[in-house]
Amino acid sequence: MYDYLIVGSGLFGAVFAHEAHKAGKSVLVIERRDHIGGNIYCEEKRVLMSISMGHIFSIRLIGMCGSM
């Protein structure tokens, strides 16, 4: 039994789950993708690090991606 069921761990779902947990609520988050954050995520490609932020903008950095 959970206080909240959140479908999707996009920006809103992830923040809501975090804040609800901090407030002492039990939360279950269901996500179909293999990463959290929805359209905001990092992926490493050879020597490129691509940061995609959905429809807002995209940043491409040269060099290997370290931990963020």
H/E element, 43: strand 40-45
Q: How far is CA 16 from the centre of its chain?
A: 12
Q: What is the pLDDT of residues 20-34, one digit of tens each?
A: 999 999 999 999 988
Q: What is the pLDDT of residues 36-64, one digit of tens each?
A: 888 887 766 665 555 666 555 445 544 44
CB 65 within 8 A of CB 49: yes
**Closest by alpha carbon to 35, among 68, 1, 2?**
68
